[in-house]
Chains A and B, each alone.
Chain A
């Protein structure tokens, strides 16, 4: 298959997977673990780039190319490094200590789809930061917004947890006990990295 054909197939696969992780995540991840086309990941990267561009504008609040580019590069490089660090940590811990098996790249492709709920939450939060800026108050409107926002955040968080579980389940062929053990052992490394990112002021909520 030539590059343009692979790109087209990748686009179709991405759309199918995108709809699939919303409607039928379990079946989608099972199918995803069998595919080998990397072009679909390029579409996830595009979504991330779109978010980083939005966040750079919101965070800097200045139309200065140098500052915007610096902010964009800081966000993009940190998020890229985080995705690699988190997936590699889970992979190494899962394979070395808890009997996981499979290929890293197949697992990483599944893990890349777990970034969709993350980017959706960050993108919505950055838009809401402009549209309805904090702080929230304990008025009726403030409470109503808070409850809606927390529900939205919790839905995306549980969706993320579900997709992460499926990425580990199909990417490393592990059962729930092995997955929980892998996550518990990997958590300190990921938490430490999150603290470092917070100290550098790149992401206050870790972009995992």
Chain B
């Protein structure tokens, strides 16, 4: 039992130390908070980011967003 637990610990340890941790100085706690959300509920983050982008585009371009969509629809 102890061996299994130890092996699990070693595997997890190797996973954690395999890639360098992200550090952003004083912003690190905020980064970790946001990434926690992205890891556990990625689609909530993706949809919110997309909605904000589209609102921003509409604010900048107004009804001309339809031209952008026309271009994109011909872009495949």
- A positions within 8 Å CB-CB of B: 22, 24-27, 30, 55, 58-59, 122, 125-126, 128-129, 133-138, 142-143, 145-147, 149-155, 157-159, 162, 169-170, 173-176, 203-205
Residues of B within 8 A of A55 (CB): 76
Residues of B within 8 A of A142 (CB): 66
Docked-complex contact A155 and B46, CB < 8 angstroms: yes
Docked-complex contact B70 and A134, CB < 8 angstroms: yes
Q: Nearest-CB distance from B30 to chain A (Å)?
A: 13
Docked-complex contact B76 and A122, CB < 8 angstroms: yes
Interface SS of B by simple majority: helix
Given contacts A26-B39, A158-B50, contact A143 B76 (CB under 8 A): no
Q: Which residue of A lies closest to B39 (CB)?
A: A26
Our count of residue pairs bridging A and B at CB distance below 8 angstroms stands at 104
Residues of B within 8 A of A125 (CB): 72-73, 75-76
Docked-complex contact B70 and A173, CB < 8 angstroms: no
Could you list 25 examples of A-B contacts with CB < 8 Å?
A26-B42, A27-B39, A58-B76, A129-B73, A133-B73, A136-B70, A143-B65, A145-B69, A146-B65, A146-B66, A147-B54, A149-B72, A150-B54, A151-B47, A151-B51, A154-B50, A154-B53, A159-B46, A170-B19, A174-B20, A175-B19, A176-B24, A203-B76, A204-B76, A205-B76
Residues of A within 8 A of B49 (CB): 154, 158
Docked CA distance A155–B75 (Å): 17
Docked-complex contact B54 and A151, CB < 8 angstroms: yes
- Interface residue count on the B side (C-beta < 8 Å): 34
- B positions within 8 Å CB-CB of A: 15, 18-24, 38-39, 42-43, 46-47, 49-51, 53-54, 57-58, 63-70, 72-76
Docked CA distance A153–B47 (Å): 11
Residues of B within 8 A of A155 (CB): 46-47, 50
Docked CA distance A154–B65 (Å): 13
Docked-complex contact B22 and A205, CB < 8 angstroms: no
Q: Nearest-CB distance from A55 to chain B (Å)?
A: 6
Indicate which residue in A136, A151, A154, A157 contacts B73 across the interface (CB closer than 8 Å): A136
Docked CA distance A126–B42 (Å): 26
Docked CA distance A157–B54 (Å): 12
Q: Which residue of B lies closest to A133 (CB)?
A: B73
Residues of B within 8 A of A27 (CB): 39
Docked CA distance A158–B49 (Å): 8
Q: Nearest-CB distance from B18 to chain A (Å)?
A: 7
Q: Nearest-CB distance from B1 to chain A (Å)?
A: 25
